[in-house]
Structure 1
Amino acid sequence: MQQINPTAHPNSQVDYELKDTSPRLGEQWPNGGVRGAGGWISGDKFTSTYDLVEQMYYLYVRVVKAKDLPTSAITASCDPYAEVKLGNYKGITRHFEKKTNPEWNQVFAFSKDRIQSSVLEVFVKDKEMVGRDDYLGKVAFDMNEVPTRVPPDSPLAPQWYRLEDRRGEGKVKGQIMLAVWMGTQADEAFPEAWHSDAASVHGEGVFNIRSKVYVSPKLWYLRVNVIEAQDIQPYDKNRLPEVFVKAQVGNQALKTKISPTRTINPMWNEDLVFVAAEPFEEQLVLTVEDRLHPSKDDVLGKISLPLNIFEKRLDHRPVHSRWFNLEKFGFGILEGDRRKELKFSTRVHLRVCLEGGYHVLDESTMYISDQRPTSRQLWKQPVGMLELGILSAQNLLPMKTKNGRGTTDAYCVAKYGQKWVRTRTIIDSFSPKWNEQYVWEVYDPCTVITLGIFHNCHLGGNEKAAGGSPERDSRIGKVRIRLSTLEADRIYTHSYPLLVLHPSGVKKMGELQLAIRFTSLSLANMIYHYGQPLLPKMHYLHPFTVNQLDSLRYQAMNIVAVRLGRAEPPLRKEVVEYMLDVDSHMWSMRRSKANFFRIMSLLSGIITVSRWFDDVCHWKNPITTVLVHVLFLILIWYPELILPTIFLYMYLIGMWNYRYRPRHPPHMDTKLSWAEAVNPDELDEEFDTFPTSRPHDMVQMRYDRLRSVAGRIQTVVGDMATQGERFQSLLSWRDPRATSLFILFCLLAAMTLYITPFRVVALLTGLYMLRHPRFRSKLPSVPSNFFKRLPARVDSMI
């Protein structure tokens, strides 16, 4: 199989817009269709119906076991396996060696839409090393007699069937236990079943096509405060050491600065912060080193500490420090020498703790899907439930060639909070239908769910890329949906364009059809969250620097990728990195242009007002100018009307904009992302490696420096645009709850200011602004928290 470049198949008249769809959701589900194996409900707090997907029927065959099978006359043994055959489709169980009573317990699922036979046959055969396998018997079922079973009905009980000869006219020795029924994708057997639409997949590839639910590991910040050391013993007794401490956790390594004083009792008092995942597999390795010259360091002492011995800090309470004895590097282990070494050992003074009051994974990105702290003890009650129906994809482009034709093996991954879900892989289809439904608890509505479509490159288990490295699953596209832009208890059914940026430009890879519903459990609790800090309290009491956040986020993503890559089937590193936007902070001329024009779009309103005012000053429209004079005189004569008039005007604008409120969630916008007009040189720069692959050393140094600095500027410009867009969204009804709260506040403020003297308002405002620090909180104010939760157009950027 050969990978092909999807950009070689351009679409004419590409439509990048979001489309409304009308799928038949839940129309034929008996009793509301109680959710089955497709869901994951934490703590059984929610009961969700399987009503966001279309019903799909499957014929299920559970092959449990057999008994009393005959042995071969030649080998005097039996290596049995079962073969389930329905028309042109054939599924085979694993075989057992020398066993007349095998137990398979495997399930086979045949799509009803592809059934072309009225008879189901289950054969039992004896596997031979050479020649044809021996026939032991069969059981046949008439398709018209197969019962139908839909959850919450109990599973169908398997029963014993006598084996028949080839013609079905007589019984032979042996029995097989089977259960045959017609069910839907809500059946408990669906995720683990062998599927007829993936009959061409064998070996390890079978595990890579199944739908699965993954949970991210619980991540902690490990804060190592290196205070001081005592009794440093350098190898050269004639010089005072230049000592620093190196700490390492797994692949993460950090160093303190060299002690400012050259002494055998150095002091540092520096914080080194790492990311650690439960269960803790790595140890904290500390080494005290002496800087001899810039290219050589001597290790003076070393110690390894398991992470589970350290205190777990949930709040800002202080942590007690401890002294640890270091083992001299390379010292012998003779018992007598060991006692002498411990008596005069170098000691290091540390304050180490695992901090669970932070949110670790993606607090430094705009696409936050979970704002809870690591420690479960600090979690609050959920405010709602998110239900997602992954229906299908349409018009996917070919991603590889097979037997001389293009084909695609697509699966979908969705990530929200700690939970990742992966649909089954649909083999050889440009319009795969998954119809799988999942549910999440929502602890904060101002979060984002991310979905990605990928081409499965691991169906045979031994695929290799051109350079001999393991093949990587190819990206087909991504969709982000901010929950706060969804109205409560409304089902959104849309077809989202799947867009990917290639070195040749932006490419539409197809469309993804989703059904999504956000259910609110408590409106009062949700409104309360709009006034709460965006991140846990520890982020504000002990904030990290920008450099620390970038490094910690990168390490957290690596840890999550490694842990999810150890699952079965693995969620591979390239998938995790794409879902977590690992390259979102890299320099890009295209993104910088996009952020610049976002700011210009915000300033266009101010420019329009200034032009209008210039027309008023020049009497372009006399009637408008006279009305402005009248309003100006009224406000000068009654200055107490200025503030209430402004608030009343914003209230009226918000009510007027209600009829024009958005009817669908935001999606990837190629124009906003500046992806349609980007030139080839800028794309070459964006897809260039970092550090750059340019050959000249000086050009490389300058180029990397420029990209690093420009990346920071790009982030700042993007943040400025985000703040302006949040202000713009106050009255745009992009977040219906936030706009409702703001216009209600404007109405109440206008009424209050109309009846309150202006001097009183000015006095109270001034006293509040000049209040003593004792009466100030270190946490952000309610207006600040409310403003930070407003949606921005960054969700629609590619």
Structure 2
Amino acid sequence: MSAYDLQPPSVAVSFVNESREQTLIPSRAFCRHGFWHPDDARRALSKRPSKLSACSSGKLRLRVFLDSASGLPAMDRNGLCDPYVVIKFGDQTKTSVVEQHTRNPQWAQSFVFDINAEDEDAVPPLEFVVKDKDSFSSSLIGSVSFSTRQLELEQSQMVELPILQAKSRSEMGTTTRRRIRGTLSFKITKILEPVMESSEPSSRRSSKAATAAVAAAESRGVLEVSVKLVQAEHLLAMDSNGESDPFVKLRLGGKTYKSKTRYKTRSPVWNQMFQFKARAGDDQLVLKVYDWNLTGKSQAMGQCRVTVGDLPVNRSVKKWLKLKHDGADAGEICVMLTVSSLLASPREGPTSRRTSSAPAPAGLRTCGTLEVHVASASALDARDYGGVSDPYVVLELGNFKQRTRTIHKTINPDFDQLFMFPVTDVFDVLRVRVYDEDRGSSDDFLGAVDIPLLEIVNNKTERFFLKKESMLKLYKGYISLTMNLQYAKVPAYLRLIAPRDLNVLEEDDVLSTATLKRNFMRVLSLVERVRAVLRMFDQLFKWQLGAAQSFLFLLFWIFATLRLDTYHVPALFGFGLLVQYILPQTALLGPSVSHLEAADGPRQRRPSKSIRERITSITHIVLSVQNTLGEVASIFERLNNLLHWKAPVLGWVLVSVLLISSLVLAVVPVRYVLLCWGVLRSVRAFHRKYVRRGDPPEPRPPPHLNFLSRVPDNIELLQQQRL
């Protein structure tokens, strides 16, 4: 399917030709991702419809991509400078970021200016003023002027011009040649961006429709870039101990993030996620690695750049990027990059759908396809003023990620969008997340739902109630989805023995006392359930679960020890699984959902705890974890010390027991040993309970643990060591 085979929205823009006549161009000039294609706009002139429900006069703008500069003079005492650029276009002024401690800065920033002049002769020149940032002021390095009158529409032009020194007062009005103080590289493009208008008179237009139209025009062609900073290797040694304290600054589209600092390492691991928004084209992601210093400014260790336009859309990729510092190699940095298109085009009618697909990269083995129709959502949480939100939906399947357009000013959005995903593992889960879009801050969470692929009912519209971020509690609202999964069963089931793909879209783990407590309770629950199974067998031997059950178990034990063979074991496990499937689900190993909900907290709102109560709760959790880890470590250390003859007497006892056991097993088969052990234990317990009728014996630890408890662990060895 071609990008232009989809039905376009009823939108039109105007193109200012050389005779300065405005000509309406239908929206067939936009591709499915909402990007502007001027050649297709000109070809579509002959096919434009006779009536348009919406039109626009269009807006001419100037997009400037400030690339880099080289050969700048030394303005500071260290022989470097801190350059930045002030760009002026008429009465519009914009400033770049400051590149510290370098004479060859790389900004990689995009700026957009409005062309307000009606006549090309009245278009002002584009001026670049390069300055050096000081502590309390700025020093002028030079300037560059470029005329934009001869620019062609939608044709990018890469320009490299010398930076000329500013004239002194005595040189004003003279023809004195100015000294060159470096070169400046930038790309400039004259673009035509559509402005949405309604076919109805302005007096009849609702404010809601106008807001949605403006937002759709602004978000057209915008990409959402997710960057996961994974790790770096072979970084430069910046400290006297041969190590570094690296952190990374990431910049894209005028937004800058800073990672955490990893101390005393040249191979740091971050695993941090960052979100950016950028326009398609020349926007570049800049990663700069710095070494943190306690007493002075951070020192640059290297940098690299990635062009957003070179990345695949709706697919996560892993890249190892080479860092450069003063033209030399400075190590490598690993990032996971995911680019998602923001489909903001309005629908033409109630039955039209905007289709988006995540293309499978070359070499990726797939076993099927998943079609997801995001119909609507209802009763969402209102996160903005006026009791409304700006919701959109993000869908993730494996390492593929797509999102819907944003529906503004509503809590009952109607998306009506269709998405296609390649399926690499039918045992994967479709993750659906709903967010409220905010400008100038992070988007608000509105709900989530996880859908296993094998639980999908094809071509059936279902309502899924949204959950909170913990995925354990119900949240506000629901979402309506229609899904269709098609896959080949044999290739899909053969994937069971293949390793699962690494999910690069997983969010970073954060320290949480509730999560720590829940995980600790999960481990304790598993241990307790294993002990419960072993305790059940012990009670059957001791006739504590009833005479009938214990007698039947004794008969089964005799039959199993006499007749059971190795090939019977898989059949018994399979029979047990069938019984578990037929009978009511009672999990023997693993915490139930109710248990996890209880660990996560009650549904009603709990009163806030004081600082003292919080500290006490944390202390209790940490103390429990400390004691449990100590017991586990002690058991393994005792076993290791026993095998390494740290307790010689117990070592000789173990050797004697093993030799005697070998002689007995050489004469008597194992099945008869187990038969005698089980029958004698059961008969002894029956005699104690029904014949002698004495008090039940006190519970005692197993003999092997009693024997192992006599072996000192590492801490006890250090305490018993003579000085």
TM value normalised by structure 1: 0.39
* Structure with more relative contact order (C-alpha pairs < 8 Å, separation 6 or more): 1
Which one has the largest radius of gyration?
2
TM value normalised by structure 2: 0.43
